[in-house]
A and B are shown apart, each in its own frame.
Chain A
Amino acid sequence: MTGEAWQIVFFTIKISGLSTLLILPFGIAIAWLLARRDWPGKAIVETTVMLPLFVPPVATGLVLLMLFGRKGPFGSTFNDLGIDIVFTWRAVALACAVMSFPLLVRTAQSAFQEVNTRFEDIARTLGASEWRVFRTISLPLAFRGVVAGAVLAFARAMGEFGATAVVAGMIPRKTMTISLAIYQNVQLGQDAAALPLLLASVAVVFVTVLCGQLISMRKRPR
């Protein structure tokens, strides 16, 4: 593999890991709220969270471009702070985060729903605050599901293409991910150059999903 190919692989892993870490606290919080609380507008939030799964990724990228472009509502604020989003590595992380968010939330939500509410109730009668119940009972018992969600999110981010292409472009050594590089090489008729990237991509995702499976196969406390 060439030096440039290695750079693309490491960049993609780094950005996928970063985007997964970024969405983890929000994803866990929303998953818990959806699983354990009833509140006005819950159905709307749940549907909105799931949208990136069903809307074409290119369309999601366009929305992000409008929101985070220099004249967009969020982009202008970042611009005032001297931070560029679109067509930088930040846009790649943003696109990966948005596209993988529903997978994390959906999986973690199911995991929280599987936790017997009686454990949480009894913890409350033992004097635990809501935060302590979450930290010591709900989250540890849902841990395997949350890890599975994070693994799915990471794997999804590794393969992200459409939204990234729109909001971050295909700038060598700046925003080029494995998926974008494979596409570009194929478009240029350089299939041989795409092959090592393909193998690296498969290897990384295989190892990640395998680790997730091994964690899931550990005996689950009930």
Chain B
Amino acid sequence: MNLRLHQVRLPLASFTLEIDAIFDRSITGIFGPSGAGKTSLLDLIAGLRRPSAGKVESDNEMLFDADGSLHLPPRLRRIGYVPQDLALFPHLKVRANLVYGCRRDGTEDEPFTLRHVAEVMEIEPLLERNVTALSGGEQQRVAFARAILSAPRLLLLDEPMSSLDSRLKMRLIPFLLRIRDEFNIPLIYVTHDAGELSALCDEIIVLESGRVVERGSADEVLAR
């Protein structure tokens, strides 16, 4: 998967997010202080926000082109998104949450079947539970599984473990690596936590006030 943001501009409240970058690694970390524009960056990649200029392209498919007035809606982008608050649908059971994004054409391709994804994420016993009755760690895995089941070409994760303690975070990291290895889905991972970055990411982009100020391997960036 190759995602290219070409001179993308998105005006925010206090600055303009300006990005010119290629995402072609299996796990790219986005690091930066609060209010740097990290979530806005994920939103525009997902199609939830419309930039004022630039192009967004994925595997030679144009997702957004300001010149051509093209804005592919989120539902057609096949880009999964796990937000910071997970946004599990509170009125639906775990099973209904999981199948919400499943393809509707009646075909289920391995490995994107409910049975397989639930097994990999170790949530099989939770399927008939209410999402509000799950623990923090269980909710994370259900949110990951729901996004995986939509068979995305890319998965965006916005500080998905920020509300968990460090012990639980370390227990969940193998599940994130399984998304990459078992389902071959590249990840863009936003976090404040250097430990998560070094454990997960092949490459790190540091964002400050809407601009990329540093980019490199996890070791290089964290050493600086």
Contact = CB atoms under 8 A, between A and B. Distances in A.
Q: Do A and B bind each other?
A: yes
Nearest to B79: A125
A45 B149 CA distance: 41
Interface stretch (A23-31, A87-95, A113-121): A113-121
Interface stretch (B83-91, B120-128, B160-168, B214-222): B83-91
B77 interface: yes
Contacts of B46: 121, 125
Contacts of A118: 83, 85, 87
Contact of B146 (A124, A126, A137): A126
B152 to A, nearest CB: 8
Contacts of A119: 87, 89
Would you call the interface of chain A mostly helix, strand, loop, or mixed?
helix
A128 B46 CA distance: 13
Interface in A112-162: 116, 118-119, 121-129, 136-137, 140-141
Interface string B59-101: 0000000000000011111111101010101110000000011
Contact of B87 (A116, A136, A221): A116
A122 B83 contact: yes
A119 B81 CA distance: 11
B75 A125 contact: yes
A125 B91 contact: no
Interface residues of B, number: 26
Contacts of B78: 127
B132 interface: yes
A126 B87 contact: no
Contacts of B150: 125-127
Contact of B74 (A121, A136, A140, A222): A121
Contacts of A129: 75
Interface string A191-222: 00000000000000000000000000000011
B89 A128 contact: no
Nearest to B73: A124
B12 interface: no
Interface in B23-52: 46-48
Contacts of B85: 116, 118
B75 A137 contact: no
Contacts of B81: 121-122, 125
Contacts of A127: 75-76, 78, 101, 103-104, 150
A121 B76 CA distance: 13
A123 B75 CA distance: 8
Nearest to B146: A126
B211 to A, nearest CB: 25
A130 to B, nearest CB: 9
Given A128-B75, A221-B90, A123 B100 contact: yes
Given A118-B85, A121-B74, A221-B132, A126 B91 contact: no
A126 B48 contact: no
A140 B91 contact: yes
A121 B103 CA distance: 18
Contacts of A123: 89, 100
Nearest to B130: A221
B134 to A, nearest CB: 13
Residue in A124, A137, A222 whose Cβ sees the most chain B Cβ within 10 Å: A124
Nearest to A124: B74
A140 B91 CA distance: 7
A141 B91 contact: yes
Interface of B: 46-48, 73-81, 83, 85, 87, 89-91, 100-101, 103-104, 132, 146-147, 150
25 contacts: A116-B85, A119-B89, A121-B87, A122-B81, A122-B87, A124-B47, A124-B48, A125-B47, A125-B48, A125-B74, A125-B75, A125-B79, A125-B81, A125-B101, A126-B146, A126-B150, A127-B76, A127-B101, A127-B103, A127-B104, A127-B150, A128-B75, A128-B100, A128-B101, A222-B90
Leading 7 A-B pairs by shortest Cβ distance: A126-B101, A221-B90, A124-B74, A122-B87, A125-B81, A221-B91, A118-B87
